[in-house]
Each structure stands twice: as structure tokens, then as C-alpha cells.
Amino acid sequence: MELFGSNFDDSVFSEAKDRGSVCVLSYNAKSCEPEWFCESAALDTEDSLEKQKVYKFRGDLATRRGDYQAALDAYSSCLEWISDNSMSIKRDILEGMARCYTRLGQRKKAIDLLELLSKEASNTCHLTSLLLLKVTVYQHFGDVGPRMSSLQELCSLLPFNPWNWYNLGKMCLQLLEHSANLKETGKEAEEQHKELSEERLWLKACVCFIRTRLLLRILQQQQSSFVLRHNQSAVQSAEEALAHLNPKETTLLTLTELISEDLNPEKMRDENQDGKSLSNVCVQSFEERWWNKVLLSGVLEADGCHGQSDTKL
């Protein structure tokens, strides 16, 4: 009795020539000289995609070299050759132009591009990239309120990313250390005065560094090598910042309990939003999700003068 599959057709083992000719495919990779796109001959083509590449590469190189006007000119030329359906490359070019306008001190043009990019953002990746760009632009021009709002939006959109929390905490700490200047620049609205008061900045900094420490310690379980060392260094920085802020032990315990309620593996997997359509993502504001319940806990009043240290980090 033959086992199933034990009888093969002899033709399987015949020579290749007996089974028909074999088509051999070859591929010759295109070889380019370094910075080939800088040559004038690179634009001697009718191919719009090729021209788009040349101008984009020129803009990227000029940006790296710090020649922001040349980069801006190249990006502007690139836009003329981008088709209407090439949204990804268009966003990339517009972001590059916004950075150039920022470096050139042209605030209005940079902000106008941020607004245009906001209208065209369609998923969480777009929004994340946009918010990071906003932080850069607002920081450059010293726009305290919008920068803080952008960082808070990042924390709400990606609540398990420790670096957004860390950056928000550092901003609050820096504002505390320059509170005299803050009072001079915070005259636009009464509400902004309230949100940027020393007491609220102190409390928000505590919340951010506690959350940072919690998230980084969770991530340490899956890390090794230089990634783990970088993580441990950030944890140390967060602990030093908390020591500088000097909250009472009861305040630390209360805040840790309040902002760690969602830190479980199942919850963290469910909220992985990378690339999701914004129409399918419900993001609670920073105030709704964390800040209001922190204020309602009464820790600010319970901590009294919150024992801030005069030692700067």
C-alpha cells in the first residue's frame, strides 16, 4: 500500500531543458553620483515626477546646510510639479516650508501653513506630525499658550507616549523658573493668567513627570541595550525634576493613583491609534481626561506652598 503523496511524477525530476525554457530576469540598479540633483542637467527632463524629486532633494539639502531661503525656493518650485493626488509629498513639502519660514522669522506665513495643514489632516499620523511641528514653530516665536496647548493635545492623542509628557513637564518647569517673564508675556487674557499661574504650572509639572516615570518603567520591561539606558536616563531626569518640585509624599501618592488608572496592558493596546482616521478617533481633551480630576482632588490646597526649591536644574 502506498502512502498518500509518496508516488511522484518522474517529470518533476527531469532536466530543466525537458520542461521548457526558463526565463531569466535581470535588473540593473540605477547609479547616481552624490548630489546629482544639484547639477543643472538634472532638470533637463520632461518628467514631472523627476523634477519634483530634484527640487525636493535640493530643498532637503539646503535645509540641512542651514540655507533656509534656498530651501524655501526649492520647496516652492517643487510644489508646482506635485499632482493633486500626491497628498503625502505635498504635506512633506508644506511642513518643510513652514520650518523654513520659522527659521527666517516669518511668523505669519509659518502659521498660515500650519492652518492649511490642519485642514488637510485626515489621520492620527498627520495630526501627530502637525502637532510636533506646531510645538517647534510656537517655541521659536515664544508663543507660550499655543505651545502648551499643542503639547497637551499630543498627550491626549498619544497618552502612552512618555516623551510628550516629559516635554510638557519640562516646559512647565522652565516657565516656573522664568515666572517674572511669564507675568510680562501673559497679559493677553485672564484665563491664560490663571492657567499659567505658578501654582498650576507646579501641579501640571508634577503630573507630567509622575506620568513620564510610570510609562518609562512599564516600557523598561521590553527594552535592552542603548534603548534601555536612554530610558533609565530619562527616568532619572524625571525623578530629579520631581525632587526639585518637592511635592509632599501624600501629594505624590494621590497624583500617582489618579493618573495611573488607565495604565494596564489591555487598555494600552486598545488605544494604539497610529494611522487611524480622525473621524474614528475620539480624543478627550487634556482637561477632561486628567486635569479636571487632578484639580478636584484638592492636592494643590493640601500641599500648601508646595515647597518649591530655589535650586535650578
Residues 201 and 288 in one domain: yes
pLDDT in tens, 221-274: 877 888 889 989 999 999 999 999 999 999 999 999 999 988 886 767 666 667
| Band of pLDDT at residue 85, cut at 50, 70 and 90 | confident
- Confidence class for position 76, pLDDT limits 50, 70, 90: very high
| Cα dihedral sign, 199-203-208-212 | positive
pTM over 0.85: no
Which CATH number belongs to the domain containing residue 64 in this structure?
Answer: 1.25.40.10
Give the other-Cβ count within 10 Å of 262's Cβ: 13
pLDDT above 50: residue 313: no
Same domain, 291 and 193: yes
Q: Find all residues with CB under 8 Å of 120, minimum gap 6, and list them.
A: 87, 91, 126
Among the candidates 101, 120, 139, a domain finishes at 120
Q: Would you call 26 exposed, middle or buried from its count of C-beta atoms within 10 A (0-12, 13-18, 19+)?
A: exposed
Distance of CA 288 to the CA centre of its chain: 22
Sign of CA dihedral 262, 264, 266, 271: positive
Q: How confident is the model at residue 165 (pLDDT cuts 50, 70, 90)?
A: very high
Residues 158 and 60 in one domain: no
Does residue 116 share a domain with residue 50? yes
Query: Could you please report the per-residue DSSP string of 189-238?
Result: -HHHHHHTSHHHHHHHHHHHHHHHHHHHHHHHTT--HHHHHHHHHHHHHH
Higher pLDDT among residues 272 and 33, named by residue: 33
Q: Do 66 and 206 belong to one domain?
A: no
20 alpha-carbon distance from chain centroid: 56
Q: Is the pLDDT of residue 190 over 60?
A: no
Q: So what's the pLDDT on residue 233? A: 92
For residues 185 and 282, membership in a common domain is answered with: yes
User: What is the rounded CA–CA span in Å between residue 68 and residue 74?
Assistant: 10
**Residues 273 and 204 reside in one and the same domain:** yes
Lowest mean pLDDT among 13-22, 103-112, 285-294: 13-22
Q: For residue 132, is it within any domain?
A: no
pLDDT at 301: 76
Q: Is residue 5 domain-resident?
A: no
pLDDT of residue 41: 77
Residues 166 and 294 occupy one common structural domain: yes
Q: Are residues 95 and 167 in the same domain?
A: no
Cell of 31: 547609479
Residues 6+ apart with CB under 8 A from 116: 94
Let me know whether 67 and 188 are in one domain. Answer: no
Domain shared by 278 and 182, yes or no: yes
If one counts the domains in the chain, the total is 2
- Mean of the pLDDT values across residues 101-112? 97
Lowest mean pLDDT among 103-112, 151-160, 289-298: 289-298
Residue 200 within a domain:
yes
Which of 73, 100, 120 terminates a domain? The answer is 120
pLDDT at 191: 58
In this structure, what DSSP letter does residue 8 have?
-
d(CA 295, CA 287): 10
Angle at which helices 162-177 and 144-157 pack, to 10 degrees? 160
Dist CA 235 CA 226 (whole Å): 14
DSSP character for 158?
S
The reply to whether 275 falls in a domain is: yes
Q: Within this chain, do residues 291 and 157 fall inside the same structural domain, yes or no?
A: yes
> Binning pLDDT at 50, 70 and 90, where does residue 140 land?
very high
In a domain, 21, yes or no: no
In a domain, 3, yes or no: no
Task: Evaluate whether residue 238 is within a structural domain.
Answer: yes
Is residue 21 very low, low, confident or very high in pLDDT (cuts 50, 70, 90)? Answer: low
Q: What is the pLDDT of residue 35?
A: 80
CB-based contact 61:38 (threshold 8 Å): yes
Residue span of the structural domain in which 261 resides: 151-313
Q: Please report, in angstroms and rounded to a whole number, the separation of the first and last CA atoms in the chain.
A: 83
Determine, yes or no, domain membership for 61. Answer: yes
